[in-house]
Structure 1
């Protein structure tokens, strides 16, 4: 198969993924500013983050299956316009309830990245799918990092409404560009909408490898969300006395993640996803231990937070590359529905992680957040070791008869 999509368009799609995913993450850095601007508690303002992530999970479940039913270009452009409208509505909210409602709408509409991934994989040769997935994920990571950095900086400079306005403008510009740049695609399925929704649930029930990947991402991403929701409270609290800009600058330290995900994609292409999953989960467990030293404050505490969040981001995103390649290879004709089940589970886990992170921080402080991350990452690692060990044993059994025969021949000689 030859590529039907140019590298230039792939880069534009990576930017689109970054802008769309960034809409889910920049509220993490400005929630303290929202609390001050709307005169509510920090815990209440953090509900904006949770509402966006729950909306994103709902949008993935309800809208991403349409990628198997409708042409991608009009679907992606329409969602970008709707997310731009939601961002504009959020920027004008005068109280917390309408902001939470607008945040849920933003989450529902800004689901173009899960649509772009399966579309792009279907437009390139099989031996480039891991690299393309890694490139798109690098765009998403760049969006996560830059949205948090710019959100915090612009929020402190111009107020918490300004990041919403900036994101709205970017979404609408990309909608205009993609109207011309995206190639025409034919939907692989003619099923009606209710059948598409049911199919995602059926795939989750009938595909063990899908369930395994969903569990990995839900647990690891839950810990990731707990940390990035809690770290905003830590840095702006009595231990560090910093502003929202500091959270964004901490996120920029993790820019190296953008270089790691294409490497992870190439390793998945060569060695398969299981090895990358093992390495990434081990990195996340190590990150929980490093992050715990953030309670010490000062320069040493900041170094611990930088190292811990870097390990966390690299581990989570590299694992996502492995999981994505695994599930999209299961049944090419239902890629959007496979991705629907996977991403829904991931963001339900992320939403639960944000909620747990706020609660753990309120009750136990930063060490409580680190404990949430450690428990979730350990659960994923134990599940993975149990899953791959039978295969390793089977491979050893298949090799052992030949080895025994060779040993016997050598002994006779």
Structure 2
């Protein structure tokens, strides 16, 4: 079941990222500029943010199996619509719907967290995140190669078939779970916002992920423009192949989860933020072009992927320990903030690249990470005992409690 849930995360997350590698081909196919075509990527991320806020809280209210199957079915239909879109506005609309529905990974996380012992939660989160990372990386390579052969529509149509097939499997295999809340839908949405006000550890986890993920999105959205531009002159296939370098991240996140279980999330967050800063320094050499520049891009993106995803493990372990009865709502708040940051990062990355080039994008990553690091230092130096999340609250009573 853990493997199946990890595959579900991979497929769902892959739908968000595979358009990044085919922006130039979309632009050529729909007779528009790459900057305009990149709006489809931003629309997917904004739709994903809306889906996390509007749909993921239902994980506390509805059986997980029914919710997962419904979300994947809707995603498959939206992918079909995108693959058949005759114009850019229709593609953008279909992309927003894809993002809205493909939030299955955010339903799987709270489901799995409730099925394992607290002392193993970090390791399981790391395993599921490995699946998400695999989907992120393979989807870029898959879309880059497939679109070079068959055109930009092919990745959307193949992804639709895969998603619908997975929905049919989950309909028969996911265990039936009992909802942890009987609150009406408006109350669930309001609770997600209330939790952000009430839980300091949730607020800072959201801030960490929003800033770091904004930098991550800025890099990967701009990287397509760099590699296919005059500095390198490569095709969309090269972007997808470069993404495969991050496959090492799949091995690192389970290890990060075990470190979180032993040492707590704060130490992992600190190392990850420093890793992102170092990756920004490495990535600046990518502007040089040629073999040295490409080597810098490979090393920098690998380190960026590892640091960002390992920090995600730490953040999610921290928030899942706060309220066992409200994990979906906690995850809703956390991921909504994260993808608001990611959506802003995609837009800022394209804008910064147009005005300041690749150097400006790397400086943007460093600035965003410094903001997160400053907040983390304040929490470590000034937080009261237990408030900094130095260890997951695994000793707390981990059973459903009455909804507030």
Structure 1 equivalent of residue 131 of structure 2: 139
Task: Select the residue among 217, 231, 255 that pairs with 2:223.
Answer: 231
Which of these residues, 276, 295, 301, is aligned with residue 287 of structure 2?
A: 295
Secondary structure of the equivalent of 2:376?
helix
Is 1:73 the counterpart of 2:65 in the alignment?
yes
Q: Indicate the residue corresponding to 2:108 in structure 1.
A: 116
Change (3 A) 1:393 1:104: closer
Instruction: Spell out, residue by residue over 1:178-230, the C-alpha distance to the aligned partner (whole angstroms, 9 max, x if none).
Output: 11110000000000000000000000011000000000000000000000000
**What displacement does 1:392 show?**
9.2
Alpha-carbon distance between aligned partners in 2 of 1:285 and 1:330, rounded to the nearest angstrom: 29
Q: For 1:302 and 1:186, how far apart are their aligned partners in 2?
A: 50
What aligned pairs does 1:14-163 form with structure 2 within 5 A after superposition? Answer: 14-163=6-155
The count of corresponding residues between Structure 1 and Structure 2 is 387
In structure 1, the partner of 2:189 is 197
**Residue 106 (structure 1) shift:** 0.1
Which of residues 178, 181, 185 in structure 1 aligns to 2:177?
185
Match of 1:410? none
Unaligned runs of 5+ in 1: 1-8, 395-413
In the alignment, the residues of structure 1 paired with residue 8 and residue 247 of structure 2 have an alpha-carbon distance, to the nearest angstrom, of: 18
2:331 corresponds in structure 1 to 339
Which residues in structure 2 correspond to 1:212-231 (within 5 Å)?
212-231=204-223
User: Residues of 2 paired with 1:281 and 1:157: CA distance?
Assistant: 39
* Greater Rg by CA: 1
Aligned to 1:397: none
1:278 counterpart residue number: 270
1:372 corresponds to 2:364: yes
Give the deviation of 1:124 after TM superposition.
1.1
Which stretch shifts more, 30-39 or 122-131?
Answer: 122-131
Residue segments in structure 2 that go unaligned for 5+ positions in a row: 387-404
CA drift at 1:90: 0.1
RMSD (CA atoms): 1.2
For 1:378 and 1:263, how far apart are their aligned partners in 2? 25
Residues 106-158 of structure 1: per-residue CA shift (max 9 Å, x gap): 00000000100000110111221111100000000000000001110101111
State the partner residue of 1:207.
Answer: 199
Give SS of 2:19's match. Answer: helix
Quick check: 1:315 aligned with 2:301? Answer: no
Q: 2:164 aligns with which of 158, 164, 172?
A: 172
Question: Residue in 1 aligned with 2:400?
Answer: none
CA distance in 1, matches of 2:373, 2:303: 15
- The alpha carbon displacement at 1:390 in A equals 2.6
1:386 CA drift (Å): 1.2
**1:388 offset after TM fit, Å?**
0.6
CA distance in 2 between counterparts of 1:29 and 1:312 reads 18
Shift of 1:254: 1.0
Moved over 4 A (4+): 391-394
Q: Which structure features the higher share of helix residues?
A: 1
Q: 2:55 aligns to what SS in structure 1?
A: helix
| Matches of 2:274 and 2:306, distance apart in 1 | 11
- Counterpart CA distance in 2 for 1:118 and 1:209 is 17
